[in-house]
Amino acid sequence: NRYAPAFQTQNCKDVVFDKVVVHHALGMGFLFERTENIQILNSGVYTKDGSDKYISSTADATHFANCKGDVLIENCRIESMLDDGTNVHGTYVEVDKIIDDYTVRVDLKHFEQAGFEFAGIGDEVWFIQSPSPKRGQANTVSKVTYINETYSDLKFESKIPHNLALGDVLENKTWNPYFTMRGCKITKHRARNMMIKTPKKIIIENNYLSSEMSSIGLRGETVNWYESGAVEDVVIRNNHFFNCAHGGAEHAVLWVSPKLNKSFDKTELYDRNIVFEGNLIETFDNRIVWADRLDGLVFKGNTIKQTNGVKQLFPKAPLFDFENCNDINIIDNVYQGKATNFFETDEKTSVTLKVKKNKGFSYKK
C-alpha cells in the first residue's frame, strides 16, 4: 500500500523543492533517506481544489529517515493524506550477534526497512544497552559487510562495550538533522501533524495545525517501527492548534510517549528539554499535554480556549497528564473552558512540578 512515493531521494545533498505540489501519490509525498540539507518551500501535498478526490498521499506527506544537516519545511500546505504530515526519525537496529571485540551483527527489525543503509564507514554510532534507554558509548564504523537486506556486520575503530548483549540496540549518531517547520498549514488528514525524533534542534513555529490524532508526537520506539531517537532540544512557539485529536481515540495536542520493548526500564527518563510557548490552542476536548518519561518542559504563555459545536470525546480527561517526568513548568497560561480536571500526575512528577501565574486553572497536590 506504499507502492510509489511522488519524490524520493537517497544519498543526496542540498535538495530543494520550491513551488512543487503533489496532488496524489501511492505512498509518501516526499521521501528522503540518508540525505543532507533539505528544503521544501512554498509547496504542498493536497488534492486539487475543486476535485472530488479525498486522498492526496496514501502515507506520510513528508518523511525523513536518517537524514542530517538542516531540514526546513516552510510555507507549505499539507492535507488529505492517510498518515502524518511529517515524520522525522533515525533507525534503531538490534544486536543479533557479537562476532568479536570490534564487530557486531545487527538486524533491521521492520520489514519496510529491508535494504536500508543503517551506517556507513566513518559514521558514529551510539550503543544503547538495556535496561537503560540512554545513549551510551559512541564508536566510529570502520567497515560494513552486508549479509543480506536485513543483516549486516559493523566493525568499529574501538572496542565495543564489554557487556554488550544480544537485544541491545544501536543508533546512528551522525545521521540526525536539525529540523524546522515554519508557516505551514497541516489539516484534514489521518494521524498526527508531526512525528519528530531527532536529538538535534527542533523548531516548530507559526503553523496552523489540526489533527485526527495528537498534533505533535514525540515517540522513539523499539517495538514496531524501530524509529529513533529521543529529543533533546525542542521549541514549539506561536502556532495555532485547532480542534486537534478529533479522530476518536484518546490523544493530546502534545504527546510524548516513548515505546520501548520489555528489556528496557519503563520509568527512566527519555525525551528532554521542550519549550512550548506563545501558542493559541482552540480545542473541543481536554487533553493538551500528555507526557511520559519527559525531563524538562516549559509550557509558558499559551492561550487555551474551548470551542463549541463539537461534542467532547473525553470530558473527564485532564488538561495535563504527566507520568515519570521531571522538571515540568506550567507558567503564565490562560485557560477558557469548562474542564474541572486540570492535572493528573504521579508522585515522581509532582516532586519537581511547578505551576504558577496561570489563569483559569490551578494545581493541587
Q: Model confidence over 131-140: pLDDT tens digits? A: 999 999 999 9
Contact call for residues 159 and 52 (beta carbons, < 8 A): no
Q: Are strands 86-98 and 227-228 parallel, antiparallel or unpaired?
A: antiparallel
pLDDT band at 1 (very low <50, low <70, confident <90, very high): low
- pLDDT for position 198: 97
Q: What mean pLDDT do residues 301-312 have?
A: 95
pTM of the model: 0.96
- pLDDT for position 365: 78
CA distance 187 to 170: 35
Query: Can you give the length of the chain in residues?
Result: 365
CA distance 317 to 307: 16
- Compute the 3-state secondary structure of the chain and give helix, strand, coil in percent, each to the nearest 5: 0, 45, 55
CA distance 44 to 311: 31
- pLDDT for position 114: 87
CA distance 3 to 59: 10
For residue 68, what is the enclosing H or E element? strand 68-74
For residue 14, with 0-12 CB atoms within 10 Å meaning exposed, 13-18 middle and 19 or more buried, which class applies? exposed
CA distance 176 to 260: 20
Give the whole-number percent of the chain exceeding pLDDT 70: 100
Q: What mean pLDDT do residues 183-207 have?
A: 98
- pLDDT for position 237: 98
Contact call for residues 168 and 109 (beta carbons, < 8 A): no
- pLDDT for position 112: 85
Hey, what's the cell of 139?
564508536
CA distance 189 to 210: 9
Q: Under the phi-then-psi rule, with left for phi > 0, alpha for psi from -120 to 50, and beta for the rest, what region is 19?
A: left
Q: Model confidence over 156-183: pLDDT tens digits? A: 999 999 999 999 999 999 999 999 999 9
CA distance 360 to 110: 46
CA distances from 25 to 60, 69, 74 (A): 10, 26, 21
